[in-house]
Amino acid sequence: MRALITGFGGFVAGYLARYLKCEKYEVICAVYPPMFDEEIQVEGRKMEVVLVPCDLTKRTQVEKILKDNAPDEIYHLAAQSHVPTAWKKPRMTFETNLFSTLNIFTSVLSLKLNPRILIVGSSEEYGECSIEDMPLKETSPLRPTNPYAVSKVAQDFLAYQYAKTGKINIVRVRSFSHTGPGQTPKFVCPNFTKQVAEIELELKEPLIKVGNLKPKRDFLDVRDVVRAYHLALKKGISGEVYNIASGKPHSIREILKICLSFSSKKIRVEAAPELFRPVDIPFLQGDSSLFRKITNWKPLIPFKQTLYDLYHYWICTLSNKSYKD
């Protein structure tokens, strides 16, 4: 089997590439050209995957990578997924998340290919919800409250349309929050663990600045998520959408408390107004029972272990030591 993964150089794609290699796949990875540097190429060689520079917003480049490789499966992971960035750069967010997807679908049709395609949506699509709405099912209303979420709703529905009218084999998933070693510190779990590691190594003063600690999020380990993505293409029904969720929400305050417990230092916590989002969904909990029923998937890695692995990753990285998963 030959798989094409978009978004290599992002957080999840490397984990998925390693997983598929273990499953004996031939793996081709699309890399955004400005990221196609020596470091990325070395990583690709270590994984024994083929890296191809490709700007997915350019139809001709998408058509070329598909024509040259004719993949059996496409895992479309490339996205602008950072909500604060989406507020600042909504046009770029839409171009990346929606029009790259459109280019994949139209290119598949023009080349008369028939791959299974995974489109990765987000729990942010559900948007403004109340506690009474939880846990969220695939049939729950979509009420997006930020530009990233709107772009993902548009991508989601575009995929549904092409699955139904274009007869393309597309499976959609809505992933709830996921994290793990290697994720950028723009996100809350790697941000907290990096700061705690810096303090433990005496690289910064024992102070952590935080935003809103009240929201609760349904977190998964990235290693559980990539297993789910593979199962979605193997067993999912074309045109359908599936939640990928743990069903166990954690407050940001609880996450901070766990991260602080890894350090031997006494650490102060201070609220920083610039870290608060314009709109913050207070509670998210997913119901993934439909997906679990058709695949027998379940999360295997406890959340505290995920956070500790993140902390250990930062200790190694900041100490210039190699990190082993």
CA 6 – CA 301 distance, rounded (Å): 25
Task: Average the pLDDT over 3-32 and give the result.
Answer: 96
Domain range annotation of the chain = 2-179+218-244, 188-216+249-282+301-318
Residue-wise pLDDT for 250-276, tens only, equals 999 999 999 999 999 999 999 887 777
The residues near 2 (Cβ < 8 Å, ≥ 6 apart) are 25, 26, 27, 28, 69, 70, 71, 72, 73
Q: Is the pLDDT of residue 16 over 70?
A: yes
C-alpha torsion sign, points 193, 194, 197, 202: negative
User: Do 182 and 299 touch, CB atoms closer than 8 A?
Assistant: no
Residue 54: predicted pLDDT? 97
3.20.20.10, 3.30.565.10, 3.40.50.720, 1.10.8.60: which CATH number matches 2-179+218-244?
A: 3.40.50.720
Task: Average the pLDDT over 123-149 and give the result.
Answer: 93
Q: Is the pLDDT of residue 169 over 90?
A: yes
Task: Average the pLDDT over 142-160 and give the result.
Answer: 96
The proportion of the chain whose per-residue pLDDT surpasses 90, expressed as a percent, equals: 88
Residue 205: predicted pLDDT? 96
Residue-wise pLDDT for 76-91, tens only, equals 999 998 888 999 999 9
Which fold is adopted by the domain 188-216+249-282+301-318? Answer: UDP-galactose 4-epimerase; domain 1 (3.90.25)
Residue-wise pLDDT for 187-238, tens only, equals 999 999 999 999 999 999 999 999 899 999 999 999 999 999 999 999 999 9
pLDDT band for position 322 (cuts 50, 70, 90) = confident
Residue 129: predicted pLDDT? 85
Mean residue pLDDT of the chain comes to: 95
pLDDT band for position 323 (cuts 50, 70, 90) = confident
Residue 279: predicted pLDDT? 62
Task: Average the pLDDT over 122-141 and give the result.
Answer: 93
